Amino acid sequence: MTLPHEAETAAPESGPERSPAGPGGAGSASGRSPQGAERTAAAPSDAENRSAPEETPRRAPGPAEAPTPGEATTTKADHAKPAKPAKPAKPAAGVRRGRKAFWLALALLATLLLLALVSAGTGAYRIPTADVLASAQHRLGLGGAPLDRVGESVLWNVRLPRVVLALLVGASLGCAGALMQGVFGNPLAEPGVIGISAGAAVGAVAAIGLGLSFFGNWTITVCAFVAGLITVSSVYLLSRNGGKTEVVTLILTGIAVNAFAGALIGLFVFFADSGQVNQITFWQLGSLAQATWPKVLAVLPCAVAGLLVAPFYARRLDLLSLGERPARHLGIDVERLRLALILVVALLTAAAVAVAGVITFIGLLVPHLLRMANGPGHRFLVPGSALAGAVVLVAGDLAARTLAQPAELPLGVLTALIGSPFFFWLLRRTRRKQGGWA
């Protein structure tokens, strides 16, 4: 007979020998061994461990690691949060540059129109802008009203020919500068700096001094074109060394050509009469004071032809900027391209010099400003330089007429006063970037 307290004591000892009864007593009826019961009991926990990722026991933070109030702690739930939607991608650089070029061209065009209106109404005989627009509308048959007899004569025979001539000359010089820098692969190239403007002026001065008139109103333009072509060809051949154009050689060649052209102009002045001396002085100083509609019509075909042809070479100029050898591998005939562009530059420069005289630094200053604003791509640089050159020269002519009233400043002198410091700064900047000229 077993006492009650002895049964309680013996019960734990008999536990391992018998499986605890499950629901409905299935554990006792199955007759499984103790080892099988242990495996059966362990199976659910193994499956749970396989389905759930292991979690490293977290160590309680010490005093130095204790989170401060308001500081977020990283938990398992934070890693399970869905990722935030990605931000929309920014437009590509080419798309942004294209938009910038569009708005820049629009701003230049609006500025040019505003300057043209202001210049047409500003002078000794002032014409309000509203009256200028009304007269233009009347001439075009779009309504409006004409001015009085004096106002109409001043506006249409004095002011507007000058504004249109400034527009054509500025566009020609700006475009010629961009083409010259692309042809020579050098940002310091410019028709005036390397002597092409002075060479074209020699042709025009020779036509004046010798009294040539075999082409009528076109005589001065043709002589300036031929002299400008000879000058730019000479500079191109003399400045090349080892298949490339060097900065020092380019500048020194331009100095020599300018000096030689100045000597020839002085020689023509020595043999000219008083009337011819006045005309030659006009070429040397540069001015639009003698602008007339016949002069506009004389320069219009050359300027328009050059300005229309130049943008078609923009892509090839971009390839040429990679270097002569890569451009040849990409299918560009470098020598033919340079020859064609030299002809276009001579045409544009001759057209400008033939009617306005020597006006320097427009072709140097304008392309550089546009490169700083929108990069070196010629698809915008070539037409943009023409547009910006027109803006600069219309503004310069307006300043030349109004700064020293009733006298008038020579336009070429004014542009040289502004462009020379810019050219000096550009020389220093280029030398600093290249680490010297050697």
In this prediction, residues 361-384 reach a mean pLDDT of 88
In this prediction, residues 81-99 reach a mean pLDDT of 60
* pLDDT tens per residue, range 16-33: 444 434 434 434 333 444
CA distance 195 to 260: 9
In this prediction, residues 35-50 reach a mean pLDDT of 43
pLDDT of residue 309: 93
**Selected residue with higher pLDDT from 341 and 66:** 341
pLDDT of residue 108: 92
**Selected residue with higher pLDDT from 1 and 198:** 198
Whether 322 shows a pLDDT value over 80: the answer reads yes
How far from each other are the two terminal CA atoms of the chain, in whole angstroms? 121
In this prediction, residues 109-117 reach a mean pLDDT of 94
* pLDDT tens per residue, range 394-416: 999 999 988 888 888 888 888 88
> Dihedral angle at the C-alpha atoms of 283, 287, 291, 295, nearest 10 degrees?
40
pLDDT of residue 85: 53
Whether 188 shows a pLDDT value over 60: the answer reads yes
CA distance 115 to 72: 62
pLDDT of residue 82: 53
pLDDT of residue 19: 40
Number of other CB atoms surrounding residue 26 within 10 Å: 11
Window from 86-100, 105-119, 161-175 with minimum mean pLDDT: 86-100
pLDDT of residue 434: 61
Q: Any idea what the Cα angle at residue 114 is, between residues 110 and 119, rounded to 5°?
A: 145
In this prediction, residues 261-289 reach a mean pLDDT of 85
* pLDDT tens per residue, range 226-271: 888 888 888 878 877 776 666 678 778 888 988 998 899 888 888 8
CA distance 191 to 201: 12
> Quick one: pLDDT band at residue 391, thresholds 50, 70, 90?
very high
CA distance 405 to 413: 16
- How many CA within 13 A on the CB side of residue 9? 5
- Indicate the average pLDDT of the chain: 77
Helix boundaries (H) for 330-436:
334-356, 362-374, 378-402, 411-434
> Quick one: pLDDT band at residue 282, thresholds 50, 70, 90?
confident
**Selected residue with higher pLDDT from 191 and 97:** 191
pLDDT of residue 429: 76
The answer to whether 405 and 126 have CB atoms below 8 angstroms apart is: no
Peptide bond before 410: cis, by omega within 30 degrees of 0? no
CA distance 196 to 364: 13
> Quick one: pLDDT band at residue 173, thresholds 50, 70, 90?
very high
pLDDT of residue 10: 41
Q: Which helix (H) or strand (E) holds 283?
A: helix 274-285
Whether 319 shows a pLDDT value over 80: the answer reads yes
